[in-house]
Amino acid sequence: MFKAKVSTHMEVAVPPDQAAADPRDHSKGLFDEKVPAQEIVPSPKLFQDVVQRQWVQPGTLATLVDNPVPLGEEFGSWKTGAELLDEFSDQSLSHMCPEIKPKPRTFSRQRLPNQMLFCYTQKITEGMEPDVTLDCLGYEWELHRMYLFKSHVLSQLLAEAVQDSYSPNTRSILKSKKGTRCYKCCLLLGHKHDEVCQQKEKLPKVNIALKISDEDVTRFAFAVALKYMYNSESEVNEEDVLGILAAAEVLQFPSLFLKCIQVMKNSICPINVCSYYTAGCKYKQPSLIAVCERWTEVNLVPQLGTHISLRDLPLELLQKVLKSPRLFTINEFYLLRTALYWVFLQQNPKIQIIPSYDTILTYFSSLPKTCAFLEREEGQHYMAIFQSLRLHGITSSKLTFFCDYSADLNFVLENGGDMAFQTDFNTQAVRFGLMLKEEPRYHAEVISIYGFFFELKAVKHDASAYSFYMKRIRHADPIISYFTADRSPVNLQKEREVKYEIKAQCQIDGKWEEFTTERLTQNFGVKKPSSKSKVRKNQKKFTNYLKTCSVINSGMRIKLQ
């Protein structure tokens, strides 16, 4: 109180020393001073115009400058508290609150597979918010339940996750209609039961988890499989088809699984035939296994035999192909060379470039000479491979580090070429073959066996007709190269009884077909007409041979009697 009186200078004695220092008249109170009648405050002209407009009509409240509303009307439009409560009770809270739009998600420049999938699903669903979160492979995949019915595994997980949210009456209705299958249909497809539809609209976001132990399922392949649920016309890349196939198998996604199998059948090449065959065996797909085996029968020598992927060829597949009657080869030596390449790659798994044939011979020749390679412990594992070969048909090379078959060869030569030890035509006849190209019109291959020379010939008549035959030629015929004539033995018999069979294999509309003369026996002389066999003519429309310039290959099995 004292301080207040001091501040207002009311009835308070001021000490003399302070009064001398302060010249003001302290007898007058603070509130006794005269208030100025008008004070000029500087303001912008725009503000002055607004104030002047308001003062023109002092009885109005200007909501808009140009359209003033009388205060009486403004007060009349206001609502009482009771009226506001009644209106609030009739409206839902969702209509009263402003809609809050979620902020768009931003991802880094190098997006993860689940982020790429989210961006794709947002385009497909036109921005629909995901209602299922799948925890798998260390990522959270945001999905929409209406698309999960294509996967048996995901639909089952979703059904188990949300079935507790239904009332007991609803679950009894669903389970009475053919059990879980109808339940999932009603849940995922929205089939028309009122209570189910109402419950589905009220379902919160569901979290499900899936554990995958298959190492072939990559995160990228899993994202592609989930993407296929939203768009069944999505393309399956050949480079990622194995991972997508594994993901489709884990998710139990039949349509995607079959599409992957079809892509694999149409894209077989030396790089992937071994992995495709392994996948076919893993997932028990006989059709894929058959296609891989058929491709290997035709291309083991021409393509796979000189490719580094030969290392991945399974032992059982190689052995089965070598015993196949449809196996194509230039001659028996090419099969032996392919087998040597395969064994070398098995013994040297770190080799990344296919070596030359001389390098392989040097490797095997450098091994200790105590015994043959196939008689050693590490070589006995490959014994079945070389037992499938027809080494008696190889007369131009001696491979003593494997086995010694020179005694049988000398016996045949001394007996005029009679193959007395070879009694089974299907498994012991010597094989020869040639690959036909679109040009030129004639194709021929000279073969030499035990001192006899034959020419296997194919003639192209038009775009869809070929004829095949073989004939005996003299050892001095100009068609025989100097290298062959100089190093091959010569038999001067005028006639030679030969049992033979000519086969032609071609690809028609993506499928391999075979034409054969069946097994024939004929005495071949050195003069016409006995020197020429019967002509086999095929008139079919051939497609490209495995995307190369060749359209057909033919082979001959021959046995001298």
Phi, psi of 145 (to 5 degrees): -65, -25
What are the b/e assignments for 365-397, b being 16+ CB within 10 Å?
Answer: eeeeeeebbbeeeebeebeebbebbbbbbbbee
* Whole-number Å distance between alpha carbons of 444 and 554: 11
Report the candidate in 226, 255, 252, 248 with the shortest Cα–Cα distance to residue 147.
226
| Predicted TM-score of the model (pTM) | 0.69
CA 256 remoteness from chain centre: 11
Helix (H) or strand (E) holding 70: strand 69-70
Q: Specify whether the CB–CB gap between 454 and 446 falls below 8 A.
A: yes
- Topology of domain 429-553, per CATH? Immunoglobulin-like (2.60.40)
Residue extent(s) of CATH 2.60.40 domains in the chain = 429-553
The residue-averaged pLDDT of 279-307 equals: 94
Q: Is the pLDDT of residue 300 over 70?
A: yes
Q: Specify whether the CB–CB gap between 265 and 245 falls below 8 A.
A: no
CA dihedral angle for residue 283, residue 288, residue 294, residue 299, rounded to 10 degrees: -90
Tell me if the bond preceding 42 is cis, omega within 30° of 0: no
Q: What is the pLDDT of residues 389-431, one digit of tens each?
A: 888 777 665 554 555 555 455 555 556 566 666 778 888 888 8
Residue extent(s) of CATH 3.30.710.10 domains in the chain = 112-161+204-266
Give me the helix-helix angle, 254-266 and 286-299, nearest 10°.
10
Helix (H) or strand (E) holding 459: strand 452-462
| pLDDT on residue 414 | 56
Count how many residues are written for the chain.
561
- Topology of domain 112-161+204-266, per CATH? Potassium Channel Kv1.1; Chain A (3.30.710)
Q: What is the pLDDT of residues 214-257, one digit of tens each?
A: 999 999 999 999 999 998 888 898 999 999 999 999 999 999 99
Q: What is the pLDDT of residues 31-66, one digit of tens each?
A: 454 545 555 656 666 666 666 666 555 544 444 444
Task: Tell me the one-letter amino acid at 77.
Answer: S
Q: What is the pLDDT of residues 149-199, one digit of tens each?
A: 899 999 999 988 887 555 555 555 445 444 444 444 544 444 444 444 454
Q: What is the pLDDT of residues 478-508, one digit of tens each?
A: 877 776 766 677 777 788 888 888 888 888 7
* Whole-number Å distance between alpha carbons of 172 and 183: 10
Question: Cα(first)–Cα(last) distance of the chain, in Å?
Answer: 144
